[in-house]
A and B are shown apart, each in its own frame.
Chain A
């Protein structure tokens, strides 16, 4: 269960090599410094789609690979190491999951386009500054949508939106009347948007119980992928810090020889190891449709978020003054850790969910 299959090892190694070449941290820097209007490289996303990443969770009938959540996590983990910006989370993981509950005609219109890397579809859930998917208030009247969604990942470049409403899951095209899009300027230089709908016509994807279970699945898939991304990010920030501890000398010896730093590094290693186990367990549980999948996903994202925040905080402190500068990538890791840990439920939200799922 924890040891990857042959196919998964090939996928993970392939992803590591591809991303190191094509989408390293320098690529995110270039997007940021160039004030890129899209926020990711569309041609690169098509190349990722060629590798099968855009269709990892899409059925073969609709041009996908059906690789599963554990595999998607392995790709997300490598993206985390490189701070790769792409619509993988919004479109390939979340929107693909939401659309899989739609009537066949809607699936046929969107899923093959997603798998090919041609369509970007964003999922609109949050309505305030905190993630509260159980208290949605957006108004739906006679198939028309009115209200505001925020923290919509890749929202400003999406061709369509999967919108969560009270007991409803809807599809809205970007070109529909009454849609206003505002890109948010985030600390991690990645894509979030606020979307306003004013009497906007929408297509129903799912209603009632089906809408609720589909939204729950989309959230779990998204949280599992974010947890994997956070794990990769924590791993890379820690690896860079360890290198620095071995190389930087003070008082005539490497600073990594000081016990004060050694013990903190060892404790951080433990936290990352704990997160790694939960990330793997959560991906497998989603693929097996296990009864405890929601619990493991919540635990995995909470733990990976804490580990990534600790890893990047410690990275800044242990790098000293230079860790505060933009010359090093450490600050980019720290900012992404904070945003990824917040999206789809922060540690407090997820801990509350764990307590509720355990009957408290």
Chain B
């Protein structure tokens, strides 16, 4: 590899790598967690019909509150980063919250669709597979740093808790 291809300074590879990982985390948090920006209420109506039973409606509401919260948190961090300081280790908060959120979201959609949601044949009107999306979401909290690694970053670097 020619020297000209060196990214950053010599012996600062880990700093560069951490920066890239931060961005991978954000893009997984963003893309897998929230890019599916279609309103959850509309998806539930599509797969379950107009009458959702009360327990499902209550779970929807709790999830929707977290959808709003994660969207606003990403917007806040972006605005704070623009005002100076960058997003830094707060990307671990975004990654952890948005991937856990997407897993809950896909689980709720399967539950709303009932046993049809667990058939390979069931697809949404936009073509996406219901069961396939639920299974794919399981990887969200593994790829780009597991949920446990994110919690470790938050506790050590944001909360300054002592190492083992």
Interface residues of A (CB under 8 A from B): 1-3, 242, 245-246, 253-254, 256-259, 261-263, 265-267, 269-270, 273-278, 280-281, 295-296, 299, 302-303, 348, 350-352, 354-355, 358-360
Contact (Cβ within 8 A) A257 B163: yes
Contact (Cβ within 8 A) B68 A278: yes
* Residues on the B chain within 8 Å of A253, using CB: 162, 164
B30 within 8 A of A: no
Which are the 5 A-B pairs with shortest beta-carbon distances?
Answer: A351-B61, A262-B155, A266-B154, A274-B69, A277-B72
Contact (Cβ within 8 A) B44 A360: yes
A-B contact pairs, 21 of them (CB 8 A): A2-B76, A2-B79, A3-B83, A254-B162, A258-B164, A261-B161, A263-B151, A266-B151, A267-B151, A269-B158, A270-B96, A270-B154, A273-B73, A274-B69, A274-B73, A277-B72, A277-B76, A299-B65, A302-B65, A303-B66, A360-B52
Contact (Cβ within 8 A) B62 A2: no
Q: Among B41, B65, B155, which residue has its beta carbon within 8 angstroms of that of A303?
A: B65
Instruction: Tell me what chain B mostly uses at the interface: helix, strand, loop, or mixed.
Output: helix
B152 within 8 A of A: yes
Contact (Cβ within 8 A) B79 A1: yes
Interface size counted on chain B using CB atoms at 8 A: 41
Contact (Cβ within 8 A) A259 B159: no
Q: Among A257, A273, A348, A359, which residue has its beta carbon within 8 angstroms of that of B58?
A: A348
Most A C-beta atoms less than 10 A away, residue of B75, B76, B161, B162: B161
B39 within 8 A of A: yes
Q: Among B52, B65, B75, B160, which residue has its beta carbon within 8 angstroms of that of A351?
A: B65
Contact (Cβ within 8 A) B97 A274: yes
* Residues on the A chain within 8 Å of B61, using CB: 351-352, 354-355, 358, 360
Write the nearest CB–CB distance from B5 to chain A, whole angstroms: 37
Q: Of all chain A residues, which has the CB nearest B153?
A: A266
Given A277-B73, A299-B65: A269 and B162 interface contact (C-beta under 8 Å): no
* Residues on the A chain within 8 Å of B41, using CB: 358-360
* Residues on the B chain within 8 Å of A257, using CB: 161-164
Beyond the given pairs A270-B97, A358-B60, 19 more chain A to chain B contacts, judged by CB atoms under 8 angstroms and listed by A's residue number, are A2-B75, A242-B160, A246-B161, A246-B162, A256-B162, A265-B161, A266-B152, A273-B73, A275-B69, A281-B72, A295-B68, A296-B68, A299-B69, A351-B61, A355-B64, A358-B40, A358-B41, A360-B41, A360-B60
Most B C-beta atoms less than 10 A away, residue of A265, A275, A351: A351
* Residues on the A chain within 8 Å of B58, using CB: 348, 351-352, 355
* Residues on the A chain within 8 Å of B44, using CB: 360
* Residues on the B chain within 8 Å of A354, using CB: 61, 64-65
Write the nearest CB–CB distance from B45 to chain A, whole angstroms: 8
* Residues on the B chain within 8 Å of A299, using CB: 64-65, 68-69
B57 within 8 A of A: yes
Write the nearest CB–CB distance from B137 to chain A, whole angstroms: 18
* Residues on the A chain within 8 Å of B143, using CB: none
Most A C-beta atoms less than 10 A away, residue of B44, B52, B60, B83: B60
B80 within 8 A of A: yes
Write the nearest CB–CB distance from A202 to chain B, whole angstroms: 36
